[in-house]
Amino acid sequence: MKKLIVVVSVFCLLDIPLVSYGQSIPAVPDLTKFTEQSRSHIEIIISEKIKTHFGFDVQYRSLSDPNEFVRVVYKHVPSTFREPNKDADYRLFSQKIDSLYSEKSTAGLMAELFSHADPVIVWRWRTKKDEKTGKTVADGKVEIWFQKADGDWLFATDQEISVEFLSERIDYKKKSMNLPVGRKYSLYGQPIIFKSDRPDILEALGRK
């Protein structure tokens, strides 16, 4: 009897959200029905002139309903750059895609990286105007699609996705440096990791 009471007490304390693992879930929003509102790079600054780009964070608004919004985190191959001197183009040191992109302008490079990026996290929500205050407030639940390592989508509502910044000790020119190398998004133990390649960082550090 005592064991039963303990079990019931534990479950009463848990706030179980709507989470779906692999079974039928709502379809990921069709972005052809939305227009882009804003776009930012997902990146880390390794040093004053060296950055690694991992993806994009884009917000969209519905073409048919101005109160419906979607935010998408896109992921592409990690791309490490050294900022150019004066008017020179960015130099790209990511070995996996260097042959495709190294001579492109910055704008052209970002556009091409975006064309090769895949959505890995999607939020959808609605807003409405509060009749009393006149302010814009949330209208209903925030839906979340989170891509697992196997490619399937995890679906949840009204949950916070944690973000952890990653660092790594790198030896360079007889010095040991603790450098930022990426970030990790997590939802219910499922991770999405954005991480620089160590050889790319070392090559970028070695170039003037």
Count structural domains, the chain. 1
Contacts (Cβ under 8 Å, ≥6 apart) of 182: 44, 52, 54, 78, 165, 166, 193, 194, 195, 196
- State how far the Cα of 120 lies from the Cα of 135, in Å rounded to an integer: 31
Q: How far is CA 66 from CA 30, 128, 137, in A?
A: 15, 10, 14
- Give the angle subtended at the CA of 72 by the CAs of 46 and 150, to the nearest 5°: 85
* pLDDT higher at 78 or 85: 78
pLDDT grade for 200, boundaries at 50, 70 and 90: confident
* More confident position, 3 or 141: 141
Q: What is the overall mean pLDDT for the chain?
A: 81
Please name which of 152, 189, 155, 165 lies closest in space to residue 52, comparing C-alpha atoms. 165
Beta bridge partners of 124: 70, 143
pLDDT in tens, 115-127: 999 999 999 999 9
6-9: long-range contacts at Cβ-Cβ below 8 A with a sequence spacing of 24 or more? none
In sequence order, which residues have a C-beta less than 8 Å from that of residue 120 and are 6 or more positions away?
55, 73, 74, 75, 146, 147, 185, 192
Mean pLDDT score, 170-190: 88
What is the predicted pLDDT for the residue at 111? 87
pLDDT of residue 86: 52
pLDDT score for 14: 36
| pLDDT tens readout for residues 4-47 | 333 333 323 334 445 555 468 999 999 999 999 999 999 998 88
Domain residues for 114? 2-206
Most confident of 69-83, 114-128, 186-200: 114-128
Q: Regarding predicted confidence, which is higher, 155 or 86?
A: 155
- Region 38-59: mean pLDDT is 91
- Are 155 and 122 in contact by the 8 Å Cβ rule? The answer is no
200 burial level (CB within 10 Å; 0-12, 13-18, 19+): buried
pLDDT tops 80 at residue 163: yes
Angle at 166 between CA 160 and CA 170, to 5 degrees: 180
Structure tokens given for 117: 């990026």
Share of the chain above pLDDT 70, in %: 76
